[in-house]
């Protein structure tokens, strides 16, 4: 008997967080569904593909600093990419005729992609003999820095009420709830279901004496990581002098080539500095490092908690982005990490924080990190299907040390 079909839409623009979370959710769902993932951003070479999940790569689009759409493939103009993406998405919908349509972030973001999302939702609603269950996959904290935030929230609420059957929030509700960063005039009528954070299982942190004597610096995909990398490089010699730690920078696959070349030149001129383009498992690299310095994206902060590594984060906050700052300060209040605002780079505060943290241990943090499996269980239940045979029972949130 063939398994039911699920179509998952994911658009990532600046980092890899949305894609990484969607891949983890897709892998968990593949135990019960035949999963097709529509990927709207660049797909990094070397990314591990979940078994039994089909990836359909669309002509990649992103946005610039002014939040205008840009084509990330020189073979396509923005207009050409838009037309082709819309055609492919609707063709896949018609071909697969899924029982479940799962859309990442929209309508709480991705307004620039309504040129394809509204036709997708309208076509799904018109499918016969029965339309698919339409669900939203949503991270823990939403951006609150838009010029017309009230209008944005109201519009999102109306879209959710019109097109969606349920919202799946990938957060522990004890840490962050949707209403913390979403306040529309029109109340949501669709169910809001919390899955816990989508993260691999916790690991046992290494004792400090077994960790490599290094600071590990990372910035997700690297597209907006250059300011943090330049600050780390400028301070690496002083850090080595004050703590004995070397510095390793994980540049990320999307760091612009000129910045990557600059990093390589800097590392060639210093025995205390090394750089790599990417690593197979960032959390494992954190776990064996004495210190971590990073931004504060969803996946990175989950890696920090799992690794149990003393960490300083510099949240990405350009333009209207405030989601990382909100998450970072909440985690700082739990003792999980220290926060240095971007505006304090270059003041000496960053290296002082790193020196203070050397040899310390972060506080244990109690968060539900079983979100991928919980998402699969929730969607299976909403679709009226029995649990997958290889699905393990969900566990209660535990203390991550």
What does the pLDDT look like over 215-252, one tens digit per residue?
Answer: 999 999 999 999 999 999 999 999 999 999 999 999 99
Asked if residue 227 belongs to a domain, the reply is yes
Confidence band (pLDDT; 50, 70, 90) for 194? Answer: very high
In this model, does residue 212 exceed pLDDT 90?
Answer: yes
Residues 264 and 391 in one domain: no
Residues 324 and 379 in one domain: no
CA–CA dist 125, 251 (Å, integer): 42
pLDDT at position 398: 32
In this model, does residue 397 exceed pLDDT 50?
Answer: no
Residues 172 and 224 in one domain: no
Confidence band (pLDDT; 50, 70, 90) for 399? Answer: very low
Confidence (pTM): 0.91
In this model, does residue 389 exceed pLDDT 70?
Answer: no
Asked if residue 237 belongs to a domain, the reply is yes
Asked if residue 348 belongs to a domain, the reply is yes
Q: Domain range spanning residue 105?
A: 5-197+369-400
Higher-confidence position of 355 and 280 = 355
CA–CA dist 16, 211 (Å, integer): 27
Q: How many structural domains comprise the chain?
A: 2
pLDDT > 90: what percent of the chain? 80
What angle do helix axes 114-125 and 78-96 make, rounded to 10 degrees? 20
What does the pLDDT look like over 318-351, one tens digit per residue?
Answer: 877 889 999 999 999 999 999 999 999 999 999 9
Confidence band (pLDDT; 50, 70, 90) for 393? Answer: very low
Residues 259 and 162 in one domain: no
In this model, does residue 401 exceed pLDDT 60?
Answer: no
Asked if residue 202 belongs to a domain, the reply is no
Considering the chain, what is the average pLDDT of its residues? 92
The dihedrals phi and psi of 141, each to the nearest 5 degrees, come to -130, 135
Asked if residue 185 belongs to a domain, the reply is yes
Helices within 244-396 (DSSP H only): 257-268, 282-287, 298-307, 323-333, 349-357, 371-382
CA–CA dist 280, 277 (Å, integer): 10
The dihedrals phi and psi of 390, each to the nearest 5 degrees, come to -95, 15
Residues 311 and 377 in one domain: no
Residues 144 and 275 in one domain: no
């Amino acid at each position: 008997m063939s398994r039911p079909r699920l179509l998952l839409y994911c658009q990532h623009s600046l980092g890899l967080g949305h894609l990484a979370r969607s891949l983890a959710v897709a892998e968990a769902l593949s135990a019960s569904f035949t999963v097709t993932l529509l990927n709207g951003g660049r797909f990094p070479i070397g990314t591990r593909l979940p078994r039994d999940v089909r990836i359909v790569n669309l002509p990649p689009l992103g946005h610039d600093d002014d939040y205008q759409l840009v084509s990330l493939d020189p073979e396509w103009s923005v207009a050409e990419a838009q037309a082709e993406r819309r055609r492919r998405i609707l063709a896949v919908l018609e071909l697969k005729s899924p029982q479940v349509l799962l859309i990442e972030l929209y309508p709480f973001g991705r307004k620039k992609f309504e040129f394809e999302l509204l036709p997708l939702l309208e076509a799904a609603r018109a499918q016969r003999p029965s339309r698919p269950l339409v669900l939203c996959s949503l991270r823990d904290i939403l951006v609150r820095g838009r010029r017309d935030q009230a209008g944005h929230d109201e519009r999102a609420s109306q879209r959710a009420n019109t097109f969606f059957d349920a919202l799946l929030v990938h957060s522990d509700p004890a840490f962050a709830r949707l209403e913390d960063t979403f306040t529309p005039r029109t109340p949501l009528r669709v169910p809001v279901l919390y899955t816990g954070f989508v993260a691999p299982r916790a690991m046992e942190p290494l004792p400090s004496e077994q960790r490599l004597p290094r600071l590990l610096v990372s910035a997700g995909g690297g597209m907006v990581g250059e300011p943090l990398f330049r600050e780390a490089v400028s301070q690496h010699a002083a850090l080595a002098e004050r703590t004995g730690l070397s510095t390793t920078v994980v540049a990320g696959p999307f760091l612009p080539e000129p910045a990557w070349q600059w990093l390589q030149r800097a590392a060639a001129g210093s025995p205390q500095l090394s750089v790599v383009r990417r690593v197979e498992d960032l959390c494992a690299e954190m776990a064996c490092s004495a210190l971590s310095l990073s931004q504060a994206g969803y996946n990175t902060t989950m890696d920090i908690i799992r690794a149990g590594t003393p960490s300083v984060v510099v949240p990405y906050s350009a333009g209207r982005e405030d989601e990382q700052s909100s998450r970072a300060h909440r985690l700082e209040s739990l003792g999980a990490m220290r926060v240095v605002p971007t505006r304090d780079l270059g003041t000496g505060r960053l290296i002082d924080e790193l020196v203070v943290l050397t040899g310390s241990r972060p506080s244990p943090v109690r968060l539900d990190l079983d979100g991928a499996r919980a998402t699969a269980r929730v969607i299976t239940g909403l679709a009226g299907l029995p649990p997958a045979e290889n699905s393990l029972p969900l566990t209660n949130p535990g203390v991550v040390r």
